[in-house]
A and B are shown apart, each in its own frame.
Chain A
Amino acid sequence: MSLTKRHKKGVELIEINGNLCKGCDICIEFCPTDVFRKSDRLNRKGYYLPVVAKVEECTGCRLCELLCPELAIVITDERKPGNVKVNTTHGD
């Protein structure tokens, strides 16, 4: 599933580390703009991961990244590079 979509504010990459995510749904529930939805497919660990449903709605607030108990969400925002690493993979 592609997560890279050219956003009107800048390229944003929202990735979920499938090795770390425990399917707690906090990101899905608390995203202010409902970017995520729950996958209907079990991953290899037996969790239903969040998937990015509406990347264009992402404002780059990083609430999900900070809330995530697993440090499984990685946000890449070219507007605020910092010490961000660029990845193009998605845990499945």
Chain B
Amino acid sequence: MPEPRHRLMDYVREEIMPHRFCAGCGCGTILNVFTNAVANIGLEPTRMVCVSGIGCSSWIPSPYFKADTLHTTHGRPIAFATGVKIMRPDLTVVVIAGDGDVAGIGGNHLIHAARRNIDLSVFMVNNMIYGMTGGQVAPTTPEGVKTATTPHRNVEPPFRVADLVVAAGASYVARWTTYHVFQLMKSMQHAMTKKGFSFIEIVSQCPEYYGRRIGLRTGVDLLKRFKQQSVRVVKAQGMTEQELQDKIIVGKLCDLDRPEFVTQLHELTNEQVELLRKETTN
């Protein structure tokens, strides 16, 4: 008897399913939500280019989501994506990669892309650890946690990456967790249809290499914790720094309209070509 087939399986490289993500991994949920978001806005995958870096979440587009894919070097998907978008501004270019990748080694590319306001959608999967390599500390790991490279305890404070991206100048920034699937889906839809640099920080569960280290060994346990820790933006505004200490602030952090970079770059070229044409015909 054939197994039931999800209605969005056409968007996935089905021949390699089930995917390699661990049981209960947030990456699987994000693949699910992303696929729904793409279908909901009527975006054809043939009009997309999905770019990713190195890490578990970079496997969401490479190889699972079926579209033109660019699986790059660690930390650099945004830089690669910039080249793609500049030359094919008509395609929807999406970057899906992890916190270590996008905000750690790739932090510089992130802030510059936000500053330029390039029409990209960056979905940063934040599992607060370097999962693929076995659970080393990440720039987003909370203080005190014992990881593979902070076996005694982590003495570094973590980044609030989404806040950083707002400050750098992005058009649309939001933070959700893999518990908030409907909100995340709508957020992704908005990000992919809005012109400008869109960034969603997706707090996601890594049961095997993060959860295990903080005593929350399953996807279920971590998701329950996310649910409990989440505070909506508006509510957070009325809370003190101390109260927000272990909280995850979720929701839309900014949604602006700013001039988009690639458009301006092409305008410059068109302008120069036109000037030359006028000169030549005179």
Q: Which residues of A come within 8 Å of B, CB atoms?
A: 15-20, 22-26, 29-30, 47, 63, 66-74, 82-85, 87, 89-91
Contact = CB atoms under 8 A, between A and B. Distances in A.
Contacts of A91: 3-4
Contact of A68 (B3, B28, B182): B28
A-B complex: 3 closest residue pairs judged by Cβ atoms: A69-B28, A24-B24, A22-B23
Nearest to A27: B220
Interface in B1-55: 1-9, 12, 17-19, 21-29, 31-33, 35-36
Contact of A74 (B6, B18, B21, B223): B6
A66 B32 contact: yes
Interface of B: 1-9, 12, 17-19, 21-29, 31-33, 35-36, 178-179, 181-182, 185, 218-220, 223-224
Contact of A71 (B8, B223, B224): B8
Contact of B3 (A66, A82, A89): A89
A74 to B, nearest CB: 4
A26 B223 CA distance: 8
A30 B223 contact: yes
A91 B1 CA distance: 8
Given A66-B182, A89-B2, A26 B220 contact: yes
Nearest to B222: A26
Nearest to B219: A24
21 contacts: A17-B5, A17-B6, A20-B3, A22-B22, A22-B24, A24-B23, A24-B218, A24-B220, A26-B29, A30-B179, A67-B32, A67-B178, A68-B32, A69-B29, A69-B219, A71-B28, A74-B7, A85-B5, A85-B7, A89-B3, A91-B4
A83 B42 CA distance: 13
